[in-house]
Amino acid sequence: MDFKESLKGKILDEGRCICAICKREGKFGAISFDKKTGEPSVLCLDCDLEIIAQRDGITKKEAKKRHKRALDVFHLFHSMKVNEYLEEKSRKEFLSITEANKVLERIKNAWNSFSPEERRGFDEKSDQELNKLFNNVKIDFPDFQRRSWWLAR
């Protein structure tokens, strides 16, 4: 069974999931992998924060605060790179969903090129420091737009 297939019925619409730990429907938190079988497990945010708090010896409130900061940092990187692409093309929006998906895939790959340790270190940096760091990350954005008859007019 492939990865995507193994998650069917576990990840729901609107950022919700069925948690492998508490068995309830909740806000999606993480995907974990069984150390013996390698099978993915979906965790709700509440259970994921509980695990992080126990692992790191912090309160659940602190784990939630760190989680929010990590999301804010990711969104900063994402929005900077989307804006960089659109500025490069002298546009305010994507021309198609296909173009958007291809660009977002490149941005995700660039983000994933940072190690988990590097990403954890981002949480301690100011937005100004992150802006400087992220500006130095170059993504090769080839010309994704397809020339269509309506664009040539």
Average confidence (pLDDT) per 10 residues, the chain, 153 residues: 80 93 95 86 96 96 95 96 95 94 95 92 94 95 61 46
pLDDT the model gives residue 5? 82
- For residue 19, the Cα-to-chain-centroid distance in whole angstroms is 19
pLDDT the model gives residue 50? 97
Q: Where are the beta strands (DSSP E) in the chain?
A: 16-18, 25-33, 40-44
pLDDT the model gives residue 144? 65
**Which residues constitute the domain of residue 100?**
59-140
pLDDT the model gives residue 141? 87
pLDDT the model gives residue 152? 46
pLDDT the model gives residue 67? 93
Rounded CA separation 52/7 (Å): 22
Rounded CA separation 18/27 (Å): 9
**Same domain membership, residue 86 and residue 34:** no
**Same domain membership, residue 45 and residue 78:** no
Whether 150 maps to a domain, the answer reads no
Whether 149 maps to a domain, the answer reads no
pLDDT the model gives residue 145? 58
**Same domain membership, residue 68 and residue 41:** no
**Same domain membership, residue 92 and residue 45:** no
Total tally of structural domains belonging to the chain: 2
